[in-house]
Structure 1
């Protein structure tokens, strides 16, 4: 592992950058207040700052600004009502029900408002018993409101000074994810690869890439200064993101029959050489990502031209040495892989040219694309959307009921006199943090939250026991805050660990000498909240992942069919619309990632809810292969060369017949005889076979082989690979149809839940 690159990836990421901003925005007022000796009295100021800061999700400036303003309004309203009704038991219960349902339901409008809703419930927990407001409620609320507005001002200042920073960091993260994807793909070429494990890693990484691409699309395409401004930087960033999407497709085209490849070349070193070279390309993509995140100019790490020449030379030497008519087809497959690798190399070199700040190139950038078609769908904020989700069929409504019941139970438990809980609001805060719409995520977060809290509490206890120097404790507090906010999205255990540490240190500064009480309360409250969250998530209107399988499988099958037809339209001499092709490519990748993500969550569901798990796994695997093989085929549809030797019409009918059968089965429709007949068509590609026989005869007659140009590939090799890819797509589509037939048969034998 390249530890230097890993450190740079972390330090330059949007998460660290954001966490430093949040930490400074929170701590600087604390230092000023502490200097005047009024920190304890004005503690709600930094608390309000940190709450509003946590609602700031990546995205376009206008949406971020509006969500911050909405968060401030919601926080002040919740704090006001909670402070006014504190101590009135029935009103508090009604308050929990009303706020619990409303702020959970606004998640229907997307992650941004879901974050506002969750933090509003945290504010409710803080103010519910008047623990922090004191006697003068309105003064406390003004202090809290001041802290909320303070972060909004910081946000406006920072985004004005650095309008492109977030977009640059997010695009950089796209490249870092692609580098990790390429590393996984490289491992297929190492000695004795574990194919099952690598396939699982590829699918998981596709989910991460899809989620990140969706977030980045919204940020880049909806940010006016990025899309419409004619500045060099805005155009370059747009070009860099579009290039990352094309690079993703090129990486997907490297899908091959790896088992056959390993068997054919197991006695040579060519596959290991490919593995090493792909890792070099991965390092270059990582370098580009880090440079984008840090807003510096990227320079190549390696001499890719020399490295590429070495790899191609090794291939041609091997070809000249051992190629025979018997293994000609194996070398054709390997030749195609070499060409794909050369294409990836060219793409990386082109990206480096963009990084040279070529103004002429930037000004000439014109995508010609309707960017609205590429944006993620998002619910419009109107009452009809909210009203339509007030139904037991809505997963959002069911989650709102679960979290409301959990908060009620948490509050009632905190009121039990024999427990004597000193910081009851921690129970409610922990419930909000743990309880998520999906049972699998709740289960995972429950364990991570408990482990992180225990370890963090023990570490903080040891630190406070042995260290009495305030400057050192304050430094640890700052580092803990930065690491907590940096790791909150991807490393939940570590985020909770550092969160617990800075909470302990903060309370120690406010009330020195009470570490034992804080330690006990924090552990007990987390344990109680974890039990409540687990019971409620399991019993109260749970939404199991298997209930989503059928709709996601339908969507994936439909998207793969339209993606395949879009690619084949060029072979069929139909109008090939590049924009429509890219939209369909995006939809296929998103549908596949959603299906894969759902399957991964289903693995964490209780055993009795993992219905037809193996069948769904097989469908996910075949969907991934169809998408990847279609991406491989797409490289031939994007050039001007014709392939009349391929019986494109019958291949299209044959493959689409299998795909349509899959869709028919998933939609409970009858499979027509026409579909069955079309799937048995025999495409007339005899001319390809004739050319192949002719080439084999040439090899028998002539034992010397010319060194071919590594940047060119013979027409016969292209034909052979197109034919092979079409066969692979058909075989996988046929296998998927059998998987669905099995799925439907099992569905008939299992009771409906």
Structure 2
């Protein structure tokens, strides 16, 4: 691992940038209050600043601003109500019940509302307890309101000064993650690859890229300053993001029959050189990403042209030694792999030119796309949607019930006097932090929360006993806050660890000398909250992943069918708009990632709930391969060349029928004999005759040492094109067979072939 590069990625990311902004918005007013001896009295001010800051999710400026204003208003109302009802036990239970259900349910309107709802319940927990708000309802509420407004002002100022910063960082992160994806793919060519482990890594990375692309689409396509203004920066950012999506498709096309390649060329050493070169390309993508994140000009890490020439020299040397009639098809596969790698290399070189000649290239950009169609759907705020989800069939309502019951249990346990829990709000806040809609995610966060709290508590305990210098402690406090907010989204263990340290240090500054009690309370409250969260998530209306898989498989199967048809329409010279093609590609990638994400969560479900695990795994793998092979096919549709030797019409009918069979089986619909007959068609390709002719030429004549990296024979393209179509059909057929074994009720209605 290159630690210098990892540090650059982290230091220039949106997470550390956001963390520093929130930390400064908290610390600067705190220092001013502490200077005048008012920090303890007005501690709610920086607390409100932190809560409002945590609701600031990435996205377009207007949506972020409106969400912050909404959060400030809701937090203030909740604070007033909770303060007025404080100490009246029956009414506290009632507000936990009503607010718990409502604020958990508003997550139906999207992630932004889910964050506001969750933190509203945190505000409720704090004010219902009363430990931090005992200075009177009006004073506490106004202090809390002022703290929220403070963050809003900081946000507005920073957004005005750096309007493109978030978009640039998010686009840069796309390139960093593409680099990580390519690094994984490079390992398929290394010596003795672990295919199962690499497949799982690819699936996990696909999920990460999909989620990031969705967030970035919203930020870029819905930011008026980027879409509507014709500035060099806005056009450059748009160009770089669109290129990253196209590049993702190209990287997916690198899917090959790796076992066959290793059987043919493992002893040559060439595959290891390919692996090293791909790893170098991954470094270049990370370099571009870091430059975008930090707002600097990117310069190539290595000379790509020289390295690529070296790879081609090795290939031609190997070809001269090993090419014969029996190895011809293997060399064709290898040649096409080099073509794809060359395409990725050229794209990376183009991106570097964009950095050096951005004005010329950026001003020529015109997408010609209706960008609104590519933005993730966001539920509109209406009461009908909320009411419609009040049903045990709704995963949102089930989650709301679990959260509410957990809060009621947590509050009841914390009020038992002999337990001696001094801060009941810690129990409730920890429950809210742990509980998520999926059991597997709740379980994972529960463990990380416990480990992070224990390690952080011991670290803070030791620090406070060993260090007396308040300046050093304050520096550690600030660093811990920055690191906590930075890791909160991606590295929860580390976020909790640093959160625990800064909580200890904060309470030590406010009320020195209570370190032993603080240590006991923090560990005890976390353990109690963890037990409550685990029990409720397991026993109260759980939503197991196996109940979600069928719907996600249906979506993925339909999306791949549409994606395949859109690519074939282009190959068959049918008129199809670029926008329609890109929409079908986007939907296929998103639905694949959602299915993969569900499968990964299923791995953490209890064993008795991992139903049909082997078949689900096979379906996910076939869906992954289908999307990748269709992406490979799409590269031929972009070349503009004609391939009359391929019977595209029959292939279209044959593969579409097989993909359609899968969707019908999953939907429990009856199959028509016509569809089954179509899936058995034999395309009338003439590629095999040309291939046999070429093999005869190789047997009869010497191989010429022709070293032209740009020359790709028409036969090589034809054979690879035919092979991709064959692979798509075989994988589609395998996926259909997997679908037949998923539901016993379905098997009786289908004709097995």
Partner Cα distance (2:147, 2:220) in 1: 30
Q: Distance in 2 between matches of 1:745 and 1:135?
A: 64
1:624 equivalent in alignment to 2:624: yes
CA deviations on 1:497-545 (whole Å, 9 max, x unpaired) are: 0000000000000000000111111111111111111111111111111
Does the CA contact (< 8 Å) of 2:570 and 2:637 recur in 1?
Answer: yes
> CA offset at residue 358 of structure 1?
2.6
Does the alignment pair 1:193 with 2:193?
Answer: yes
Q: Distance in 2 between matches of 1:401 and 1:166?
A: 35
State the distance in 1 between where 2:323 and 2:587 align: 41
- Residue 573 (structure 1) shift: 2.4
Q: Give the match for residue 162 of structure 1.
A: 162
Report what 1:178 is aligned to: 178
Instruction: Verify: 1:538 aligned to 2:538, yes or no.
Output: yes
Contact 1:569 1:576 in 2 (8 A): yes
Deviation at 1:364, TM superposition (A): 1.1
Cα distance between partner residues in 1 of 2:654 and 2:450: 54
Contact 2:14–2:169 (Cα < 8 Å) also in 1: yes
Instruction: Indicate the residue corresponding to 1:78 in structure 2.
Output: 78
Partners of 2:675 and 2:486 lie apart in 1 by 53
| Within-5 A mapping of 1:132-281 | 132-281=132-281
Q: Distance in 2 between matches of 1:745 and 1:650?
A: 32
Distance in structure 2 (CA, Å) of the matches to 1:228 and 1:282: 33
Deviates more, 1:137-146 or 1:217-226: 137-146
Aligned match of 2:688? 689
The Cα of 1:683 is off from its aligned counterpart by 0.8
Correspondence for 1:703: 702
Cα separation, 1, equivalents of 2:378 and 2:707: 51
Counterparts of 1:194 and 1:33 in 2: how far apart (Å)?
Answer: 58
Distance 1:392 1:661 in 2: 32
Taking the aligned partners of 1:331 and 1:576, their CA distance within structure 2 comes to: 34
1:71/1:668 CA distance change after superposition, 3 Å: same
User: d(CA) in 1 for partners of 2:137 and 2:441?
Assistant: 37
Structure 2 Cα separation of the partners of residues 347 and 614 of structure 1: 38
Give the match for residue 372 of structure 2: 372
Alignment-derived partner of residue 669 in structure 1: 669
Pairwise CA distance, 1:653: 1.1
Alpha-carbon distance in 1 for matches of 2:601, 2:110: 20
Identify the residue that residue 558 of structure 2 maps to in structure 1. Answer: 558
Distance 1:231 1:76 in 2: 40
Structure 1 distance, partners of 2:572, 2:345, is 30
**Cα distance change, pair 106–255 in 1 and its aligned pair in 2 (3 A):** same
Deviation of the 1:623 alpha carbon? 0.4
Write out aligned runs for 1:461-610 (5 A). 461-610=461-610
Taking the aligned partners of 1:196 and 1:443, their CA distance within structure 2 comes to: 25
After TM superposition, the structure 1 = structure 2 runs for residues 438-449 of structure 1, keeping only pairs within 5 Å, are 438-449=438-449
1:612-640 deviation per Cα after TM superposition (whole angstroms, max 9, x unaligned)? 11111000000000000000010001121
2:4 corresponding residue in structure 1: 4
Aligned-partner Cα distance in 1 for 2:135–2:149:
23
Pairing 1:105–2:105 present: yes
Residues 668, 746 of structure 2: 8 Å contact kept: no
Query: What root-mean-square deviation, in Å, do the aligned CA atoms of Structure 1 and Structure 2 show?
Result: 1.1
| TM-score normalised according to structure 1 size | 0.98
Provide the residue aligned with 1:316 in structure 2. 316
Q: Which moved more, 1:531-540 or 1:233-242?
A: 531-540
Alignment of 1:637-676 (within 5 A): 637-676=637-676
Q: Is the Cα–Cα contact under 8 Å of residues 342 and 711 in structure 1 kept in the other structure?
A: no
Measured in 2, the distance between the counterparts of 1:5 and 1:176 equals: 11
Equivalent residues of 2:741, 2:747 under 8 A apart? no
Q: In structure 2, do the counterparts of structure 1 residues 117 and 240 end up closer, same or farther at CA, with 3 Å as the change threshold?
A: same
Q: Which moved more, 1:110-119 or 1:351-360?
A: 351-360
How far 1:97 sits from its partner (Å)?
Answer: 0.9
Return the alpha-carbon distance in structure 1 between the equivalents of residues 609 and 690 of structure 2: 54
Alignment of 1:720 with 2:702, yes or no, is: no
Q: Which shows bigger deviation, 716-725 or 139-148?
A: 139-148
Contact 1:612 1:746 in 2 (8 A): no
State which drifts further: 605-614 or 338-347.
Answer: 605-614
Pair 1:303 & 2:303 matched = yes
Query: Aligned residue for 1:29?
Result: 29
Q: Equivalents in 2 of 1:708, 1:370: separation in Å?
A: 44
Distance in 1 between residues matched to 2:169 and 2:575, nearest whole Å: 37
Cα contact 1:169–1:293 (8 A) shared by 2: yes
Give 1:697 shift: 1.8
3-state SS of the aligned residue for 1:408?
helix
Q: Find the residue that maps to 2:720 and give its secondary structure.
A: helix
Query: Which whole-Å CA distance do the structure 2 matches of 1:134 and 1:675 have between them?
Result: 73
Offset, 1:671: 1.4
Per-residue CA shift, 1:535-568, capped at 9, x if unaligned? 1111111111111111100000000000001111
State the shift of 1:136 in Å.
2.1
Shift of 1:747: 7.4
Q: Distance in 2 between matches of 1:416 and 1:358?
A: 66
Aligned length: 748
Query: CA offset at residue 22 of structure 1?
Result: 0.6
Deviation at 1:696, TM superposition (A): 1.3
CA distance in 1 between partners of 2:570 and 2:71 (Å)? 50
C-alpha distance in structure 1 between counterparts of 2:230 and 2:325, whole Å: 57
Paired residue secondary structure (1:72): helix
Q: Give 5+ residue unaligned stretches, structure 2.
A: 749-753
Residue in structure 1 matched with residue 335 of structure 2 by the alignment:
335
Task: Supply the distance in 2 between the matched residues of 1:639 and 1:383 (Cα, whole angstroms).
Answer: 50
Q: Which moved further from structure 2: 64-73 or 311-320?
A: 311-320
* Counterpart-to-counterpart distance in 1, 2:680 and 2:539: 49
Q: Deviation of residue 746 (structure 1)?
A: 7.9
For residues 93-127 of structure 1, what are the alpha-carbon distances to aligned partners after superposition, in whole Å with 9 as ceiling and x for unaligned? 11111110111001001111100000000001110
Q: For 1:571 and 1:365, locate their aligned partners in 2 and report how far apart those are by CA, in whole Å.
A: 26
Runs of 4+ in 1 over 3 A off after TM superposition: 746-749
Aligned counterparts of 2:118 and 2:25: Cα–Cα separation in 1: 21
Q: Distance in 1 between matches of 2:327 and 2:135?
A: 87
Equivalent in the alignment of 2:436: 436
Q: In structure 1, how many angstroms separate the alpha carbons of the residues matched to 2:679 and 2:351?
A: 42
Cα deviation 1:36-86 (Å, max 9, x = unaligned): 111111111100100100000000000000000000001100000000011
Relative to the length of structure 2, the TM-score reads 0.98
* Secondary structure of the corresponding residue to residue 713 of structure 1: coil
Which residue in 1 is equivalent to 2:751? none
**Cα separation, 1, equivalents of 2:160 and 2:492:** 31
For 1:192 and 1:588, the matched residues in 2 are separated by: 31
Q: Matched residue of 1:267: which SS?
A: helix
State how far apart, in whole Å, the 1-side matches of 2:746 and 2:91 are: 48
Q: 1:597 & 1:556 partners in 2: Cα distance?
A: 12
- Are positions 1:362 and 2:362 aligned together? yes
For residues 95 and 712 of structure 1, what CA distance do their matches in structure 2 show? 73
